[in-house]
Amino acid sequence: MKKLIVLCMILSVSFFFFSGCASTGKRLDANKDIVADSGELTRIELERSAERLAKDIGAHFKKNPNKNGVFVALLPTKNNTSEQLSTDVFDNNLVGALRKNGVYTIRTETRDQALSEIQFSMTGLTEKPLSLGTMKSPNYFIKTDILENMFKHGGDKIVEQVINTELIELATQIVIWSDKSVYRKQAVSGGGVGW
């Protein structure tokens, strides 16, 4: 009888221990807008901001066309927040949305690789040499910084992030367009914001 009671206790404890610790992941809807406990920017917020800013940049160029065409170089977005944001999500969506709005992006960071391929094609080892003189140079830069401000209001932790984007004319270095997206959130107490 004692053995049966001990066996039942072991099984009960084992059941509660393993059922309490065993959790399975579940898929969430990637299109559902959720707020991070820490207040950091989410992928959806970065994508929406990029799309809105690209639409506004496209509208700027429709009102102010450039007779030489519009070619922009996207400078890598600077994350000046306490969070590890995937700025590539913002940058890639901005490039795609700019293209949809008739603004072409030049990847200046791949220029060395392109020149190497052109040089190789001129050796005669390829089917056809690549044409010289067809590369484009940007006439505008797009510069984006993501800034953060944290403060308390009424005892609540507030996180405010600003995505500031500037369009800079390359020849003059004049900022010809600027806009921002602001996100303000109440962080969950003890949920990732260390202050």
Alpha-carbon span 142 to 84, nearest angstrom: 22
**Terminus-to-terminus CA distance in the chain, angstroms?**
57
Select the more confidently predicted residue: 26 or 46.
46
What value does the mean pLDDT of the chain take? 84
Alpha-carbon span 171 to 64, nearest angstrom: 16
Q: Is residue 151 part of a domain?
A: no
Statement: residue 29 has pLDDT above 80 = no
pLDDT recorded at residue 88? 93
Residue 192 pLDDT class (50, 70, 90 cuts): very low
Tell me, yes or no, if the pTM score tops 0.85: no
Encoded tokens for 126: 């390829």
Q: Is residue 21 part of a domain?
A: no
Statement: residue 61 has pLDDT above 60 = yes
In contact, 161 and 180? CB cutoff 8 Å: no
Alpha-carbon span 69 to 12, nearest angstrom: 74
Statement: residue 73 has pLDDT above 70 = yes
pLDDT recorded at residue 78? 96
φ, ψ of residue 56 to 5 degrees: the values are -70, -35
pLDDT recorded at residue 195? 44
Alpha-carbon span 33 to 97, nearest angstrom: 20
Alpha-carbon span 91 to 142, nearest angstrom: 10
Residue 35 pLDDT class (50, 70, 90 cuts): low
- Max CA distance (Å), the chain: 95
The range of the structural domain enclosing residue 74 comes to 36-144+165-180
Encoded tokens for 185: 């959130």
Tally of structural domains, the chain: 1
pLDDT recorded at residue 62? 95
Q: Is residue 26 part of a domain?
A: no
Q: Is residue 93 part of a domain?
A: yes
* pLDDT per position as a tens digit, 80-130: 998 888 899 999 999 999 999 999 999 888 888 988 988 898 888 888 888
Which CATH number do you get for residue 111? 3.40.50
pLDDT recorded at residue 131? 80
Q: Is residue 64 part of a domain?
A: yes
pLDDT recorded at residue 95? 96
pLDDT recorded at residue 40? 73
